[in-house]
Structure 1
């Protein structure tokens, strides 16, 4: 029986994750560990495949770019510690643990046509390599059996994607290796001639044992699954992973979230595989050279298709603001898997590389039940469950430190009674039961107590206003209004601020970039998002322009006040402009706002401005992320001091008062401190709403945080 996940049920499950009964159990992130702490001198370091020691107190991850394996002490799961790093000659691809030994697959290939690799046995206590065994090929996945007597290693001998457009066959073929731990002997298993696609060039990817020592092996590019007796090495079964037709998916990289597309007969091309029990297995349909089915599938070991997730993971990610529109040919790209029994519940964990989420399902024996989605740094690849401690750990491979971003992290979650603390904001379905896609919220305004509107920035080609019901937990995006000009989606907008016009419409501030022909301007729209007026910045203001322009807008009386993010060419260092535009007289003016001092090599600027009572409130932040982030804060300026002077002349300087340090709020998410705190709205009851900008999941974790505090 093939079960297709229905989006309405998924949406309902999403709401239950944060509004459920206290007796329910959910996973919540309790800590994260920057793996650069284990190799501080390395230019780049990554955590890819991750395993836990049998006592559950230490994690070991493979670091291919760094050329080693890292150790993390999780005795206190809420405070993981660097526990050592072992350099290994070659590129570690995977790690498995048996007793006091770690078994590491290492790629030593000199070329695609001359692949080579080895198994390195590491004593965990001393962190030294004790033995090496030659594979005769390039290893990918390593797995152990339940009793710790056998290892299975997928020898991929991967293809060269620059040859023949990456098509296969490309010799030499891959194979499977079975390692007898006690005898320290290797057995090679030939898996050629089995797959319907390029059967003479097997491309093994991932291995998994069941309790009967049967091995499931995926041949990703061959779109096939092979079953092998781990004791004898005999191939006992094989079948095609097949295909599925995907409907209501986004298929174009056009800067628009449009879930109306179809992909016919999409080959699954599975990456990870895990046994659910001795008779069923689950595959993550990442795709490679000719496919990718965006979800996961459950098969019997005889090849009967029992369940197909279809578009469920894509739609879930879209509702959470995590959909990777800029890289969406394979959607969220499910890659890694783990299956584990916590108490009496068998859980399935699916890593989504491009959406940076972990989908959590309960295995009910028939159609799996969606439980929740976990935020997981950037590009999770490896995942390991530790049921004995009610823990889950993920390995996130991307290191963006060279570009000023965040490095690779290991993240740890705990299963406990209570509520899920993520998501904090999500969208509803539209009238056609498709997700209201969103991301990159960059400015907000409170219409009434508990009801907000927010805008998205240039992450998408369709600028929009999102209506948010903040009385729900999580907050709900209930509607999306695309900004239009002459009946068509307006182009060349980079919206960073929104405020009400008092008549049901809105004023929007767009951050310009003359080099990209995007104007620094204000836009007046009606309730339907139609642009009714465009106000360009005056020439004497633009004379000093830079890329960092409008970052918020607030209406004070008849005057719109726009926060300019950073110093322009005519500003003294450490001071930025608050620019005023009187909507009645059409006159421009400005005051100076004093910024906090920026650390060397960084900058500090404004990200939002909003009115409440006798003050305007501003977000001031640095451009740093992770442990380098020092300033994310709310300040306020008396409205009485907003007496602007003529542009081009001497500007008065306003005073400011610290209202709230936001760094502790961000640190409380138990990930790393994100850089872009960009939205602040305050309603008539004095409740402040803060929202982070996730950059449209482009070189970002996709995490959007939404929280409140009361203005005194």
Structure 2
């Protein structure tokens, strides 16, 4: 691809421009001018909401940060925690080191918050049920963190905004429907409306007015469900009615609806609309005609134009955002470009492909250093896309920012060069990586830190979709590495990645195939009579798709000295455990350079008889031998195995690896991931716990030496690097699964994490260059 000087300066921005222009990686692309090409937003800190409960975040009680506002001096964040029925306060005087300031109970479920003067205005749902709806606006003294007064709203509020001049507060009263009633569709009484609060004078004297929104929309006119509100400098409120696929403009002074119109529909091309039946493969080949936008978040960015995040609800969701004139005309629609951007950076949540895709949840606007920016938050892919709005009616993609799981509220704070996003998902009991958080970004003179990997386009102009990077190996020379995806994508591929550029360029995909029936041939070696839960011919057949691609669990990859690759596929299931029957064995596959299975190596039968569900994780070829790392100990053993297979003699030997003790406050386990050959029988291994975020403790690289070690002996290990500090430098919640390790020809060590296919995961993939390690 020919890159202009602007493209080189903008860096990551190029990916979105390629998508928007529809070019391929090998074609010249005209790159529009982008304001402030040397300035980008980068994540400065992540404030885990659990730290309000205890500084060490050892409490598993679910929390949430849904909507966030900031004090007028820009020093204190106020966020809603609906799960706990409270608002929280955070000191961002030093935004790189946010500090908990405490919580305040709201006597109901807070749904939104804004700031007016010295007060936080919190919309609180106090409804008994869907029919008996009620709510209040709670006025809070930010400095004292006390309730000043409460204003009854008469219905269930969902969004609140204040006018720039402070004269008005607009509160959306959604009165949401019961989705478990019938088919969950409207109409369901009571209908929603807009409440205007005349906010001049002391809060105790404020009065309310109701603006009726029934009868406006063509869809469900008797049941308006307003969702979000934003106010422009002329004191005109724009209100989205998501389920009605409608937008209303309300003059706050008069309390009248001055204009309303349908949000319209979009035809989406080259998107993935299929999740089930599996195998799950991101296939950007389908078309969705006349998809209702059903907008959620909305923001004015001038007196006459606003943007919507088209999340969708009932039968809609256009997977992007739209810019409207105030007369209802559409001047820009993102179409499929946001979906393509997310596929390009490995953040596609394929389990949502058959629903609403990445689900843009919210939008925000801010002017930073003279440049107007639009921020679009994707709930399902956990990113914020940043657009330069300097060219009228033509947003230009600037960059993408990672966020903790499911960003909801987005807030621009230009006075302090900050951007805040509130991520609401929190489930420590299920996964330690899921902690609700406030993401803090800073506009700075620095290159964009994320993404670290992005793919080029296929011949059809769509990006190579990728995710779940589980293994890594370096080419014998240069800066190319090869990665592999794991069992989440049941049509496995090898990826060729050029690390000489930033972000690294995933420039080729090699699909693993079995045209010669090598997997089926293993059936002849299976015993005739077996336990019903054991690995059998039916299980073998399930490892191959009708198109010849395969359903393996590649966890490790190595170059083969004879050409092509070795791939270690982790077995599925535990021997003797009915709840986890053995559906596949741990197998080593020899692949050609184009991914064709040429040979399969099995473990000895007596070792297979001990199989646990934590098997092969890494593989390396060195000196005529294959060395594989088992993740955890198998049945009757206290330590995981390091297997050594002699390629000439076709025999196995096994040593045992001494793991570090579990030290995380969330317990869990410690195991091995990748293994990399260093020469002279020395290897570098990843040792990690299954913890992320505040609970992460063990993320280390150790060196082992197999010279003279007898079969069955326990190895010794030497700490090379604790990479937990490296992972913390991303300023996010520490990723759990560091699973790929490679050493380039120049000695630089590369580390990559597995993002679990964005399944209960925020999708971040960090390809970190650790530099040259001390391997003595």
TM-score category of the 2 structures, normalised to the smaller one: over 0.9
- How many angstroms does 1:503 deviate by? 2.7
Aligned partner (choices 291, 298, 307) of residue 323 of structure 2: 298
The 5 A counterparts of 1:310-349 are: 310-328=335-353, 329-349=355-375
Are 1:7 and 2:19 matched, yes or no? yes
Name the structure 2 match of 1:425: 453
Match of 2:599 among 522, 530, 533: 533
Alignment partner of 2:435 out of 407, 421, 426: 407
Distance 1:181 1:370 in 2: 38
2:663–2:698 Cα contact (<8 Å) kept: no
- Aligned 8 A contact 1:591 1:644 in 2: yes
- Which of 630, 655, 674 is residue 591 of structure 1 equivalent to? 655
1:9 to partner: Cα distance: 4.1
Counterparts of 1:132-531 in structure 2 under 5 Å?
132-182=150-200, 183-253=205-275, 254=278, 255-328=280-353, 329-363=355-389, 364-405=391-432, 406-447=434-475, 448-486=477-515, 488-514=547-573, 515=581, 517-531=583-597
Q: Distance in 2 between matches of 1:707 and 1:223?
A: 43
Q: Matched residues in 2 for 1:400 and 1:346: separation?
A: 36
Task: Tell me the secondary structure at the aligned position of residue 485 of structure 1.
Answer: coil
- Mapped partners of 1:175, 1:6: distance in 2: 42
Unpaired segments ≥5 residues, structure 2 = 1-15, 517-546, 574-580
CA contact (8 A) 1:282 1:299 kept: yes
Query: How far apart in 1 are the matches of 2:305 and 2:35?
Result: 31
**TM-fit CA distance, 1:298:** 0.4
Partner of residue 30, structure 1: 44
Aligned equivalents of 1:21, 1:387: Cα separation in 2: 16
CA drift of 1:638 comes to 1.9
C-alpha deviation, 1:397, in angstroms:
0.3
> 1:425 deviation in Å?
1.1
SS of the residue corresponding to residue 251 of structure 1 reads: coil
What does the per-residue CA deviation read over 1:51-83, in whole Å, with 9 as the maximum and x for residues that have no partner?
111110010001111110000100000000001
Q: Secondary structure at the match of 1:83?
A: strand
* Matching residue of 1:648: none
1:553-632 equivalence runs, <5 A = 553-572=619-638, 575-599=639-663, 601-614=667-680, 615-632=682-699
CA contact (8 A) 2:231 2:300 kept: yes
Distance of 2:596 and 2:30 partners within structure 1? 36
How many Å apart are 1:10 and its aligned residue? 8.2
Distance 2:120 2:24 in 1: 42
Shift of 1:5: 7.7
Name whichever structure is richer in strand by fraction.
Answer: 1
Distance 1:114 1:516, change over 3 A: farther
Alignment match, 2:542: none
- Tell me the equivalent position of 2:530: none
* Cα distance, 1:376–1:177 mapped onto 2, change above 3 Å: same
- Three-state SS of the structure 1 residue aligned to 2:584 is coil
Mapped partners of 2:374, 2:284: distance in 1: 26
Q: Distance in 2 between matches of 1:623 and 1:10?
A: 40
CA offset at residue 449 of structure 1?
2.4
User: Per-residue CA shift, 1:95-114, capped at 9, x if unaligned?
Assistant: 01001111110111111111
Q: CA deviation at 1:633?
A: 1.0
Q: TM-score, normalised by structure 1?
A: 0.95
- The whole-number CA distance in structure 1 between the counterparts of 2:563 and 2:396 is 42
* CA root-mean-square deviation: 1.9
The separation in 1 between residues aligned to 2:548 and 2:20, in whole angstroms, is 28
Higher alpha-carbon deviation: 661-670 or 478-487:
478-487
For residues 467-503 of structure 1, the C-alpha deviation after alignment (integer angstroms, 9 at most, x for no partner) is: 0101111111101111111273443411100111123
- Residues 218 and 668 from structure 1, CA distance in 2 versus in 1: closer, same or farther, beyond 3 angstroms? same
CA deviation after TM superposition for structure 1 residue 536, in Å: 2.2
Q: Is the partner of 2:50 in helix, strand or coil? A: helix
Deviation at 1:136, TM superposition (A): 1.0
**Measured at CA, do residues 306 and 133 of structure 1 come closer, stay the same or move farther in structure 2, by a change above 3 Å?**
same
Residues 645-696 of structure 1 deviation map (CA, whole Å, 9 limit, x = unaligned): 2xxxxx1122211111100110000011111110001123222111111111
Residue 291 (structure 1) shift: 0.4
Q: Helix, strand or coil: the match of 1:378?
A: coil
Q: Which residue of 1 aligns with 2:541?
A: none
**Aligned residues of 2:655 and 2:710 also touching (Cα < 8 A):** yes
TM superposition shift of 1:598: 1.6
CA contact (8 A) 2:585 2:608 kept: no
Instruction: Give the distance between the partners of 1:455 and 1:655, measured in 2 at CA.
Output: 29
How far the C-alpha of 1:557 sits from its partner, in A, is 1.6
Map of 2:122 onto structure 1: 104
Q: Which runs of 5+ in 1 are unaligned?
A: 646-650
